[in-house]
Amino acid sequence: MKKFILIALLAAGTAGAASPQPHAVTLKAVTIKNENAKQVIDIQYPQGFANPQINATIEHLIQTIRQSFEKPDPDAQNLPADVPGKDGLTITYKVAFENKQAVSVLFSISAYRRGAAHPNNTVQTLNFINGKPVSLAELFKENTNALQTMADYSYEAIKKKAINEDEQWLREGTKAVADNYKNWYFNSKGISIVFDPYQVAAYVYGPQTVTIPLAVMQDAMRSDVTKAVWGN
């Protein structure tokens, strides 16, 4: 078994234009590689944020994903022994947004089972304000129609891409239900929603991202959230 954990410092920014990282003491990329006769693990995730709750929440997510993947696969019992390949789990990340009070981290997860036609690719996001994990619902005032507003905007944005002619599929994937909007992150213009492969289009198109401008949602947004994230 080959197993090691490598901790590498992330670059602070491009040469001559380094960006401050107010939430990080020393932001580090933790890399876990583990290969044996049955599986290959390749995971990267960030640590070193000044707020320990951010580090702990990220660590817990990674452990949960890995533990779920390493559970015995019932379908594997029916595979012939000569089927080539190994199970594999790959996780990469990017810090999608960061300012003095808010952080968003986007994880790309690729899980492969031996004998499958292709990996199962998904995304998962974690968002924080002042070190506390926040859900999408917590961004908005009570008794608003924010989710429907986001759904309407997302439907039109995906439709304009002309990547799915199946109206029912597109409607279901963008419908105003919380599970359709579970993956999102802050950005300088508003909020980006990430739809998993198959959610609004065929696998070949990969995840689809729709950025909803702050102006579209600002009336429904809590004032303390807009101040913390966008400063207004």
84-101 pLDDT, tens digit each? 678 899 999 999 999 999
40-65 pLDDT, tens digit each? 999 999 999 999 999 999 999 999 99
Domain 137-230 has CATH 3.40.640.10: no
pLDDT score, position 228: 97
- The domain spans of the chain are 2-133, 137-230
pLDDT score, position 116: 79
pLDDT score, position 13: 33
pLDDT score, position 64: 98
What 3-state DSSP class applies to 109?
strand
Assigned token pair, 128: 């924080």
105-130 pLDDT, tens digit each? 999 999 998 877 889 999 999 999 99
Assigned token pair, 83: 């089927």
Confidence of residue 4 (pLDDT cuts 50, 70, 90): very low
Assigned token pair, 189: 């213009």
Assigned token pair, 147: 């989710």
**C-alpha dihedral sign at 156, 160, 161, 162:** positive
pLDDT score, position 78: 67
pLDDT score, position 85: 79
pLDDT score, position 8: 34
Percent pLDDT > 90 in the chain is: 76
Beta bridge partner(s), residue 164:
none
Collect contacts of 51-60 with beta carbons under 8 A, ≥24 apart: 51/23, 51/128, 51/130, 51/131, 53/128, 53/131, 53/132, 53/133, 54/23, 54/103, 54/128, 54/131, 57/126, 57/128, 57/133, 58/105, 58/126
DSSP 8-state assignment for residue 113: -
pLDDT score, position 37: 85
132-176 pLDDT, tens digit each? 999 999 999 999 999 999 999 999 999 999 999 999 999 999 999
Q: Tell me which of 221 and 24 has the higher pLDDT.
A: 221
Closest CA to 190 of 100, 93, 102: 102
Q: Tell me which of 201 and 76 has the higher pLDDT.
A: 201
5-36 pLDDT, tens digit each? 333 333 333 333 334 455 666 899 999 999 99
Domain 2-133 has CATH 3.30.565.40: yes
Output the average pLDDT for the chain: 88
pTM of the model: 0.86
The residues, any chain, with a CB within 8 Å of residue 202's CB and separated by 6 or more, are: 163, 164
- Let me know how long the chain is: 232
